[in-house]
Chain A
Amino acid sequence: MLAGQGALTEGAFNPSLDVMDAIYFDNNATTRIAPEVFDAMVPYLTDVYGNPSSVHRIGARAGVALKDAREKVAAHLNCREAEITFTSCATESNNAAIRGVLQAAPGKRHIVTTAVEHPSVLELCKHLEGNGYDVTYVGVDGEGRLNLDALREALTQETALVSIMWSNNETGVIFPMDDIVDIVKNCGVPLHVDAVQMVAKIPIDLSKTAIDLLSLSGHKFHAPKGVGALFVRRGTRMRPFIIGGGQEKNRRSGTENVAGIVGMGRAVELGVRYLGSGVETTRRLRDRLEAGILSAIPNTNVNGALSERLPNTTLINFDGIEGEAILLLMDEEGMCASSGSACTTGALEPSHVLKAMGVPSNLAHGSIRFSLSRYTTEDEINTVLEKLPPIVERLASFTNHKRAGER
């Protein structure tokens, strides 16, 4: 369908109607861009196209837009503008934070993180383990709750950094950040927090917590892909990540993605408005979806149900049924969800998060994540509740036949 093969012809990009009608329950993977956000970006792709480092007016106007976006992000997080560094995504923010702090403290070779982090933290830690670092992975219980005693015991004189997510992308479980901050800061260790799934869902107030570094990503809250931010508390020692022209106070070189940053600023503004009653609407829809599935489909359960969770996320196990098969049939009916974090989709290994929670593999293989957004409607919930049970039933009977045949 997409052309361009071998010759410089125009790519025939033509989304089918199915795409436009798709019911999208995969907002923890990525979100659609808000129309207001795109409108805010357009001028910075066309008329106000200057390089913010240029001294002339076209450049200066781009610089003003950057400042304005930085103010908006800082206001939402309740921190100083100078503490916000724009990056290209949360994966970069996480890499920059962890590597930057480690390089500023070359004498310390120990990192503490958790077993349920995003791959951008786990894979980097794995890489660092191969380069002379020790990493402690603090575990969680069956409900996805962090083992705070283990965290306390993990910290040593040699610990250079603690990196812990605020809420989990797969289960939606929220970690008790106040307790974590108390434990980590008592030992005087820098704390990095991956807050990617928090923004525009749960209010964040950085003036009331001693978190040193915090990552966020635009495309998880209706800003475009290709833009993120890293909060670095004043006084935190870190080395720059991308070296060059010295943009972003020398923390992150490269001509700024002005339009993307403007989009993120606008998305933060919209997200703040959605906090409160908007979030409660999403929570009610999620609860309806969850209750509906549990009551209509036997042998299902919710992961982390007893924990405090994000209002938009539910990760449901369908015992004995292949999650990928459910997704495939859902997809055929125009419903988009995920079997775990999108970034590791393609690998048919059970989710590392469910593994850490001790979920048996027959359950973990059959888990589906539904993640809602402020655009999710009651009708969409109804459609899923109508179409999902027959899909699961079909697969269950197929699985039973297969088992009978095997006997």
Chain B
Amino acid sequence: MDYNATTPADKEVLALINRITTECYGNPSSSHILGRMSRACLDDARRKVAVSLECDDDEICFTTGGSESDNLAIKGVADGRSCGHIVSTCIEHSAVKRTCDYLATRNFSVTCLPVDRMGCVDPKHVEEAIRDDTFLITMMWANNETGQIQPVEDVARIAREHGITFHTDAVQAFGKIPVSVRSVPVDLLSISGHKIYGPKGVGALYIRRGVELVTQVHGGGQEQGLRSGTENVAGCAALGEACRLCTNRLDEWAQKLGGLRDELERGILERIPETTVNGDPVRRVPNTSSISFHGVDSSQLVVRLDEVGFAVSGGSACKSTTEGPSTVLTMGMGLSADEAAGTIRFSLGHGSDASHVAQMHEVLPGIVEQLRGVRSEKLT
């Protein structure tokens, strides 16, 4: 139940990786037949990603993942100027947050917008934060910890009205809810392969035609000069295929996982007292549930669930190595340290089924009760 951290490669994606790595190993920059075959694979992959996002092929730049896409988008825009103001939010993934922090140590200033109790950014706050020198707004499409869907449409409109570039990290939204750059006019959008049943090590950045970015990786001039380096052909092909599959199956999976998630939540709330679901239950990606177990240390809960065969997360995987309660929940949503410290993210995926949910309902109450017991003993 940790599919927001990463997903296994889909069987069809794996078959494609297998065929391309073994049969199509040329360098896409080579002019001979093996090179041309690789180039064709790459073009095909780009087409699939573009079709999924509803943009043109040449607006897709392949990268090595969500983090690189975020870095390229933000630094790529900022490097084109010497100073200025960026509007971001306090619930961003660390790839956005720390890149903004880094820019704040240079000549840039960054406004970090709060979220409401439901984990949502208020578009009014975005509008208010805009200054004369604001050149970039970066706000994620859906939050990785709570699954909360942000008001990207409103913010995109505001950005456009003010002539400000708008980047969105759609890593957690893409493949779970409809994400189209035609219906929502964002300028830059990051996606990652391994969150949508593609492999790790590949992602993409959508760059609306006309948006100028400064190259971050220089060299042979691949990816229209924006991202040099021999292309990971099999990885890109796999990303393309994963995009195609997740777009085709979007409704089916949203319905299935939404049902399972709701059942999981309902059962947990019913069986375990002093638990709360974080976020707005209506504006969430269908697979994610963030639940606070009051008086429980989530890291212990993660370990205990691991022992009985459940992989869940206390927050974003990328931060699990650093200690401390989630900033999304405390700073963002105003949870108390105690509530935040007892928060577990359940994120369902293609491997999840009703039996897993039932099993979780069976084992979780006992574990929580036990952990709470230990804690109250310590306190007395």
Contacts and interface: CB of A to CB of B under 8 A. Distances in A.
Contacts of B299: 55
Contacts of B98: 243-244, 246, 253
Contacts of A243: 67, 71, 95, 98-99, 102
B33 A342 contact: no
A256 B27 CA distance: 23
Contacts of B222: 343
B368 interface: no
B22 interface: yes
B28 to A, nearest CB: 9
Contact of A53 (B194, B302, B321): B321
B237 A45 contact: no
Contacts of A338: 30-32
Contact of B313 (A54, A91, A224): A54
A345 B317 CA distance: 41
Contact of A88 (B35, B221, B229): B229
B67 A2 contact: no
B83 interface: no
A331 B26 CA distance: 13
Contacts of B93: 244-245
A55 B52 CA distance: 33
A384 B163 CA distance: 59
B94 A19 contact: no
Given A5-B47, A10-B244, A245-B318, A119 B67 contact: no
B318 A11 contact: no
A13 B311 contact: no
Contacts of A245: 67, 93-95, 316-319
Given A5-B47, A92-B229, A254-B68, A57 B306 contact: yes
Interface in B11-51: 14, 16-27, 29-35, 37, 40-41, 43-45, 47-48, 51
Interface in A12-28: 13, 15, 18-20, 22, 24, 26
A264 B250 CA distance: 34
B296 to A, nearest CB: 16
B23 A15 contact: yes
Q: Of residues A42, A45, A328, which shows the largest number of chain B Cβ atoms within 10 Å of its Cβ?
A: A45
A118 interface: yes
A56 B29 CA distance: 41
Interface in A80-112: 88-92, 94-95
B219 interface: yes
A242 interface: yes
Given A45-B8, A49-B9, A55-B303, A20 B321 contact: no
Given A13-B19, A120-B219, A244 B64 contact: no
A254 B99 CA distance: 12
Contacts of A120: 217-220, 228-229
A51 interface: yes
B23 to A, nearest CB: 5
B336 to A, nearest CB: 23
A38 interface: yes
B22 A33 contact: yes
B321 to A, nearest CB: 6
Contact of A244 (B95, B200, B303): B95
Nearest to B303: A55
Interface residues of A, number: 91
Interface string B300-327: 0011011000111110111111100000
Contacts of B234: 224-226
Contact of B322 (A217, A246, A255, A342): A246
Given A20-B23, A331-B31, A88 B320 contact: no
Contact of B232 (A10, A226, A253): A226
Nearest to A94: B219
B7 interface: yes
B119 interface: no
Given A91-B219, A123-B219, A8 B51 contact: yes
A356 interface: no
A285 B108 CA distance: 58
A99 to B, nearest CB: 9
B5 interface: yes
A95 B218 contact: yes
Nearest to A125: B218
Nearest to B99: A243
Nearest to B21: A33
Q: Which of B20, B64, B194, B237 is packed against the most chain A CB atoms within 10 Å?
A: B64
Nearest to B63: A88
B232 A26 contact: no
Query: Which 3 interchain pairs have the tightest Cβ spacing?
Result: A257-B201, A343-B220, A226-B232
25 contacts: A2-B43, A4-B44, A8-B48, A11-B48, A19-B23, A22-B32, A26-B32, A32-B22, A33-B21, A38-B22, A49-B6, A51-B194, A56-B305, A57-B306, A89-B230, A91-B218, A91-B228, A123-B221, A226-B202, A226-B234, A242-B95, A244-B67, A253-B94, A255-B194, A331-B32
Interface of B: 2, 5-9, 14, 16-27, 29-35, 37, 40-41, 43-45, 47-48, 51-52, 64-68, 70-71, 93-95, 98-99, 102, 192, 194, 199-202, 215-222, 228-235, 237, 240-241, 244, 247-248, 299, 302-303, 305-306, 310-314, 316-322
Interface of A: 1-8, 10-11, 13, 15, 18-20, 22, 24, 26, 29-33, 35, 38, 42, 45-47, 49-51, 53-59, 88-92, 94-95, 118-121, 123-124, 126-127, 217, 219, 224-227, 242-247, 253-260, 324, 327-328, 330-331, 334-339, 341-346
Given A22-B33, A343-B222, 12 more contacts: A2-B44, A19-B37, A26-B27, A50-B6, A88-B68, A119-B219, A227-B201, A244-B70, A245-B94, A255-B65, A327-B32, A334-B33
